[in-house]
Structure 1
Amino acid sequence: MRILISEIRAALKIRLYMPAMISLFAVPDIAGAIEYPKDKNVDRYTRWFDEYVTPLEAGMDGQLAWMVRNALIHESAMNWRTSGFDTDRLLVMPPNPQNTGIHNISIIGPTTKPAHTVMLDKLAPAILSGAEEWLKAAEQSEEKRGRIDGMMQMRPNGMHPFIGGVPVIT
């Protein structure tokens, strides 16, 4: 997880915003699966997000993050067709030279539901800091450490008994 967090930060630094965002919205999936393995995907995602990210001024709660995650990861879209939400689109404002942006505000369009806005330089640190805080605590649990070890990660010396002496990602 630390490598994933580091790689997301690196992608943001060199302005690879789209891969960074897909990875950002996958972090609660990964952490939620480790933290609440018996819950359904939506429940563990929203629960983890609300516990570790929402309090850090991410600009959204777990339910909205779940809608964004589904649209982004499955359709490479920032809008969704789920009823019951006041908004059906997310506008993410990347860092800009003017350092201007609109965070956690809905903007009303002429013929559509309002679009929710967040600033990437507020959203990303909230998700990544939440993940780091969670990871410190999760690593204290032997049960969770076992699930963390099962995550996709770089294994510099291979993975016994399959391959050894060369790095693999598995």
Structure 2
Amino acid sequence: MPATPRRTRSDAVQNRARLLEVAAQVFAEQGLDTAPAAIAKQAGVGVGTLYRHFPTRETLVDAAYRHQLTLVCGKAPDLLTRHPAAEATQVWMEHFLDYATTKSGMSAALNAVIASGVDPYADSRALLTDAVATLLKAGARDGSLRTDVTSDDVLLLLGGVACSAQHSTREQARRLIALLMDALTAHSPAD
């Protein structure tokens, strides 16, 4: 009789999620030199729990990065249930900007992951493209966003905003997002 796969306990799932949240924050703020024990303590778990989920620092960094990106991209459908498409797109872009500026603090940690042979960016493009496509399609359906813009166009522009946000104020970054949204908004012929 084949063995049935064991289900992960809910507390183990919660511990893993807490570790990923704390690790992303700590790596962004303090870099790769933070002791794993400090991350475990801040997450409220033992260091053994951390190593059981993430046997190396690189696996923790990779998982934290992917977790954060998945959270950001997963916001797109949820925002569309609560806001009109154009507004949901702008709110999502602001979430993405927060994520991107936090990720920039993780750059040294991500470089160490890449040096270990793991590609933390392998799924990034597809996740981001799907999130933006979801928003653009909703905007096309309700007529609030242009239909001649691709997800790749938006991601390139948004990447530029995120890059400049590292060297500007949060307020200026918000203005850049507003300008980007103005470019994406469908205008009537009289405009």
TM-score, structure 1 length as denominator? 0.29
More helix by share: 2
Normalised to the residue count of structure 2, the TM-score between the two structures is 0.27
The structure in which a higher percent of residues are strand is 1
- Greater CA radius of gyration, 1 or 2? 2
